[in-house]
Structure formats: C-alpha cells, structure tokens
C-alpha cells in the first residue's frame, strides 16, 4: 500500500507518538495536524500544523482522519470534520466514544474504526484493540492496521462491546503494572531495604521480566514463572501467598478488571 494523505486531529502525547511511527514507517505522505498548539509550536518536519479546522488547506483531501483528541473535547471538535465522511476512514482513539456516538455526527454509513491503544504506544511498545464498522472496506481496515501498528501490536474484535474488555485489560493495564512496582517496592521496604533501593530493585525486576516475555513470544508466562521457581524455595514461598485461591492475586485481578470493564460500559452510556 502506498503512502497516504492523513488528517491528525489532536497532537498530544499519543498523537505525537503515532505520527513519529507513521513517518518512520513511510506510511504517510502528506499530513495535516489540527491542534491549538499550532499557535506556539513549530510543525514537525514534513507536516502542516494548523490551529483549527478552518485553516486546513483547501486542496487537502485526506484518506484517513485520526481523531486523537481527549474524549471530553470530541463534542466540540467532531462536527467540523463531517464533510470528510464521504471518502475518508475515521480512526478514533478516544476512550468511551462509541460507534453510535460518531454515527450521529458523521452519518450511519461512515467508515469508522474505534480503537483503544495504551500508553506504552509512546515508546512503540503498545497494543491496540480495534473494531471496524461494516462500512469500512478491506483496504481501509488494512490502512488502520498499518496506522496502529506504528506504535505496537494490533488485535481486532468483531463485537464492539469487547472494546470495554480490551480497555479493562490493556488500556488500563499499564497502571496495574505501575502499581505492582509500587507495591513490590513497599514490600521491600517492609523487610528492611532502604526505600530508594527497594524501588530500584522493583522497577528493574518488572521491566526485565517484561522484556523476557517480549523476547520469548513462544514461551508462556506460566512456563517463565515455572522457570524461576525452585521447589520449596523462596519464590515458591511467595507464590503460595500470591496464588492463594481465595485471597491471592488472580481473584483480586478478576475483580479489578471487572470493575474497569463495568466502568467503561458506564462511561460509554
């Protein structure tokens, strides 16, 4: 697929990370960015940065419109781009905004992909869950796959309702991992380590274990856990607590993800 003309609405951390990935991969040819920061920021090389939709060049006809504004700003931002719904595919990465929400503004026949990336996308190691409406062509779906792949892995769901579950697992998941670092560091302090050393050990342990997972895609997390665990050793003693059927990590995580899934549904209305 050749490089495409793209309209990027919103130039925050996620939008900036995606643009860097697209340019590195040669996915985009001409990019127009709409964001109020245009008043104080220079346009990234190879792009046009404008402060509002009225300043979009008249001859610009995007193949894709990427909606990367905050969900609470979408009501104000979206109507200005409805004119592109006849030919462009819209890719939304706004949490909680459903297909029905966009169709009210863009029309029932709009080609729309709803995606949920996560914050590791900022370092090219994210994962996005995506759902495409029936109006999205095979070519448009492939284009959105390429756009999302620029910042990590992509998985597709055929039921839009599963986006709430994706949000609960991977969208919110980085926060769970960061809290694990906090908890592990606090536990280290509780057994006598200086706080700064405990935090350094916890950070390196979690990031290192994640890298092992990443570099061994054919090895299950279960097997990697077993590899670390000597029978009747120190790791086993800790896992006996963490894997307790009633009060261990697994039932706690089930409750946590269920709460996030429930809240995602509530926010989506």
- Whether 29 and 152 map to the same domain: the answer is yes
Residue 71 annotated as lining a ligand binding site? yes
Residues 132, 137, 141, 147: is their CA dihedral positive or negative? negative
- Whether 149 and 244 map to the same domain: the answer is no
Give me the residues paired with residue 228 across strands. Answer: none
Pairwise CA distance, residues 189 & 171, whole Å: 30
Pairwise CA distance, residues 122 & 95, whole Å: 17
DSSP state string for 87-118: TPEEEE--TT--HHHHHHHH-TT--EEEEE--
Residue 83 annotated as lining a ligand binding site? no
- Are 118 and 93 a contacting pair, CB within 8 Å? no
From 164, 191, 214, the end of a domain falls on 164
From 164, 197, 221, the end of a domain falls on 164
- Whether 237 and 131 map to the same domain: the answer is no
- Whether 234 and 149 map to the same domain: the answer is no
Residue 3, pLDDT score = 80
From 138, 164, 190, the end of a domain falls on 164
Q: How many domains does the chain have?
A: 2
- Are 95 and 266 a contacting pair, CB within 8 Å? no
Residue 189, pLDDT score = 98
Task: Name residues whose C-beta falls within 8 Å of residue 157's C-beta, 6 or more positions apart in sequence.
Answer: 129, 130, 131, 163, 166
- Whether 33 and 140 map to the same domain: the answer is yes
Over its length of 269 residues, how does the chain's per-residue pLDDT go in tens digits?
Answer: 578 999 999 998 889 989 998 998 889 999 999 999 887 888 899 899 999 999 999 999 999 999 999 889 999 999 999 999 989 999 999 888 999 999 999 999 999 999 999 999 988 899 999 999 999 999 999 999 999 999 999 999 999 999 999 999 999 999 999 999 999 999 999 999 999 999 999 999 999 999 999 999 999 999 999 999 999 999 999 999 999 999 999 999 999 999 999 998 888 76
- Whether 142 and 187 map to the same domain: the answer is no
Helix %, strand %, coil % of the chain (to 5): 55, 15, 30
Q: What is the CA radius of gyration of the chain?
A: 22
- Whether 160 and 177 map to the same domain: the answer is no
What's the domain range around 260? 173-268
Residue 68 annotated as lining a ligand binding site? yes
- Whether 69 and 141 map to the same domain: the answer is yes
Give the CATH number for residue 238: 1.10.3730.10
Say what the alpha-carbon torsion angle 184, 190, 193, 198 is, to the nearest 10 degrees: 20
Residue 57, pLDDT score = 94
- Whether 13 and 92 map to the same domain: the answer is yes
Give the CATH number for residue 17: 3.40.50.720
- Whether 181 and 211 map to the same domain: the answer is yes
- Whether 37 and 135 map to the same domain: the answer is yes
- Whether 42 and 139 map to the same domain: the answer is yes
């Amino acid at each position: 697929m050749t490089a495409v003309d793209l309209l990027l609405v919103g130039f925050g951390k996620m939008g900036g990370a995606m643009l860097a990935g697209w340019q590195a991969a040669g996915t985009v040819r001409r990019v127009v960015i709409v964001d109020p920061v245009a008043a104080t920021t220079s346009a990234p090389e190879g792009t046009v940065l404008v402060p509002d939709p009225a300043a979009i060049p008249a001859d610009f006809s995007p193949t894709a419109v990427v909606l990367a504004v905050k969900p609470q700003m979408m009501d104000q931002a979206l109507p200005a781009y409805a004119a592109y719904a006849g030919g462009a595919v819209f890719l939304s990465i706004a949490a909680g905004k459903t297909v029905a929400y966009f169709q009210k503004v863009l029309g029932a026949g709009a080609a729309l992909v709803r995606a949920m990336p996560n914050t590791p996308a900022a370092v090219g190691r994210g994962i996005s869950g995506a759902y495409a409406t029936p109006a999205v062509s095979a070519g448009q779906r492939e284009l959105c796959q390429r756009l999302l792949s620029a910042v990590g892995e992509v998985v597709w769901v055929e039921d839009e309702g599963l986006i709430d579950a994706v949000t609960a697992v991977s969208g919110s998941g980085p926060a769970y991992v960061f809290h694990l670092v906090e908890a592990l560091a606090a536990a280290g302090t509780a057994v006598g380590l200086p706080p700064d050393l405990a935090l350094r050990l916890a950070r390196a342990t979690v990031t290192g274990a994640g890298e092992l997972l990443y570099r061994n895609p054919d090895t299950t997390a279960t097997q990697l856990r077993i590899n670390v665990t000597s029978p009747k050793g120190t790791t086993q003693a800790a896992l006996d607590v963490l894997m307790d059927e009633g009060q261990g990590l697994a039932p706690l995580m089930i409750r946590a993800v269920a709460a996030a899934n429930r809240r995602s549904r509530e926010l989506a209305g």
